[in-house]
Amino acid sequence: MAEKSGADILVQCLIDLGVDTVFGYPGGAVLPIYDMIYEHPTINHILVRHEQAAAHAAEGYARSTGKPGVVLVTSGPGATNAITGITDALMDSIPIVVITGQVATHLIGTDAFQEADTVGLTRHCTKHNYLVKDPAELARVVHEAFHIATSGRPGPVVIDIPKDVQVATAPYEKPVLNAHPSYRPQVEPDADAIEATVDLILKAERPIFYTGGGIINSGPAASEALRTLADMTGAPVTSTLMGLGAFPASSPQWLGMLGMHGTYEANWAMNRADLILCLGARFDDRVTGRLDAFAPHSKKVHVDIDRSSINKIIPVDVPVVADVGRAIEAIIARLKTHGFKRTGYADWWAQIEHWRAKKSLDYAEPGTEIMPQRAIAELFKATRGRDTIITTEVGQHQMWAAQHFHFDGPNKWLTSGGLGTMGYGFPAAIGAQLGNPDALVIDIAGDASIQMNIQELGTVIQYDLPVKIFILNNEYMGMVRQWQELTYESRYSHSYSDSLPDFVKLAEAYGCKGIRIEGIQELAPGIQEMIAHKGPVVVDCRVTKLSNCFPMIPSGAAHTDMLLDPSQVSGTMDDEAKALV
């Protein structure tokens, strides 16, 4: 059998697994792999400017294409810099495979130059990780890593490869993966659990579908199945931040996002429902609010491919461990055999319309300053009919984008939900653009968040990626400032973005187009100019400085205690609520 070096085996595996794009940054401990990549131009290597960005770019690529993202970084600081992105992928269940270089096996444990205990450091921020000490093991490990990253509940997998293992040779044969002895995610739902679910649907008078990122992870078929089930039953649909786009926002059955910054109708409907069908969501604390007041009148069904998500926060009546798409299809099939008749839930909808009439996302527009919500709404209007992918950073702008940009399809909304990582959006947009070369990819950013990975302007220029960065600039870490206003009597401790750069000049310094938008009259033309420009653009959109994101469920409060506008803000909070922030 022919012998190959570890580096050669790795690159051969990547090619065999259909990897076309790798996000990375070279360094001493990965030089043999980089030399092999030099010989294989079919692999499109994207040189980022910071390893954290490589991981987020891989997430953006994965989330927008459904294929795993791949990262290649060096040992020590290369690996530790990537850890934020790896943790982000774990929290949001994004399939990425991160290959890290390691010092040679005989140097491990000696505090060698650029040594870090990568498997130790990433053990609890990966779905699984490997340290490969023999090139003969490498092919099986790489194929298994991709299988684990992409199956079951997706997540990040790290493969740490010492430099001598990259150089040493071993016989190579394309591996055949047999069934894994211990890792076997349950994909098909249990028939009794589906029967119990259908039984509850048949009895329900006030059902609601509470959907999440699992539907998007499951693939487009799950979104289709959700639409079919919603059509069939006429039930209202709400979604978590991560699930936006799985159900079309243009549908009359769409209630908008739920949770801390969700709509009035979504949160009230959750509170008053008699059946909650949780489909690929996980009862996150930003969704539930106060636990003892969460949906007290309802039976609950929880469909999740990860058994540990079920009964973790909220006890449910019917647990369904399965791929959410397969479970929805099974529910549809059983409803049909039961001869389900659509009642339309007229009384329930009448009540929902009453809540909807509050128009909880409305906002006042004083004078000629740009309200941030207006900026998002204009962006949505200007991009309608195009294949648009939105990424965000984390903070107020993220919530406004979730509220005022509307998605009709999955994989078009990329945001850091679980970890809440400032600096996610721009590199994620790079990954999304590479995976979707013809799409209009816009990072909706804040003035503080964008600075956390602004160095990637170099990357978009190098690879001529027409990513648009739309900064809602209010000169604050807006969400921190909002919490300080609500919870700490407006003592704005370190939340002012002092010494901001001139974003237009900064863009120009990188060779990128910069546009400044000041005042409502410049908003629509500025957005048009951004879209019309063929290359990357940074837009510095100056918005009102002190706007707050409403509606809002204060920390530790119930869904029914929503604040709708600034007049309801007290400026203090008790210790129990402060502790929950």
Is 479 an annotated catalytic residue? yes
Does 123 interact with another protein (rule: CB under 8 A)? yes
Q: Which of 128, 140, 358, 533 binds another protein (CB under 8 A)?
A: 128
**Annotation marks residue 51 as catalytic:** yes
CA of 559: how far to CAs of 240, 316, 341, 349, 369, in Å?
A: 14, 18, 31, 19, 32
Strands 21-24 and 3-5: unpaired
Rounded to the nearest 10°, the torsion over CA 184, 312, 264, 547 is -90
**Whole-angstrom Cα distance, residue 257 to residue 249?**
10
Spatial distance between the Cα atoms of 447 and 219, rounded to a whole number of angstroms:
33
What is the spatial distance between Cα 158 and Cα 556, in angstroms, rounded to a whole number?
36
Tell the smallest beta-carbon distance from residue 312 to another protein (Å). Answer: 6
Q: Break the chain down into helix, strand, coil percent, rounded to 5.
A: 45, 20, 40
The answer to the question of residue 182 lying near another protein (CB under 8 A) is yes
- Rounded CA gap, 275 and 278, in Å? 9
Does the annotation count 455 as an active-site position?
no
**Least CB distance to another protein at residue 23 (A):** 24
Instruction: Considering the candidates 242, 257, 371, 479, report the single residue annotated as catalytic.
Output: 479
Given 3, 109, 120, 205, the residue binding another protein (CB under 8 A): 120
Take residue 160 and report the two structure tokens written for it: 């740490």
Q: Which of 72, 131, 159, 467 binds another protein (CB under 8 A)?
A: 131
Cβ-contact 181, 15 below 8 angstroms: no
446, β-bridge pairs:
472
By CB under 8 A, is residue 127 in contact with another protein? yes
Cβ of residue 308: shortest distance to another protein, in angstroms?
4
The least distance separating another protein from the CB of residue 557, rounded to whole angstroms, comes to: 16
Q: State yes or no: is 550 an active-site residue.
A: no
Stretch 314-333: interaction string toward another protein, x if CB under 8 A = -x------------------
Residue selected from 42, 110, 311, 572 as contacting another protein according to rule CB under 8 A: 311
Query: How far does Cα 138 stand from its chain's mean position?
Result: 30
Residue 217 Cβ vs another protein, minimum distance, rounded to whole Å: 15
CB-nearer residue toward another protein: 315 or 519: 315
Question: Based on CB atoms, which residue is closest to another protein, 64 or 93?
Answer: 93
DSSP single-letter state for residue 21: E
Give the residue with the Cβ less far from another protein, 314 or 520.
314
Minimum CB distance to another protein smaller for 130 or for 247: 130
Task: Please identify, among the stretches 104-112, 386-394, 422-430, 573-581, the one whose residues bind another protein according to the rule CB under 8 A.
Answer: 573-581
CA-to-CA distance for 393 and 425, rounded, in angstroms? 4
Minimum CB distance to another protein, residue 449 (Å): 27
Query: Smallest Cα–Cα separation from 225: which of 304, 327, 319, 318?
Result: 327
- The footprint of another protein (CB under 8 A) covers 119-120, 123-124, 127-128, 131, 148, 153, 180-183, 306-308, 310-312, 315, 574-576, 579
Q: Which residues are catalytically annotated?
A: 51, 113-114, 163, 479
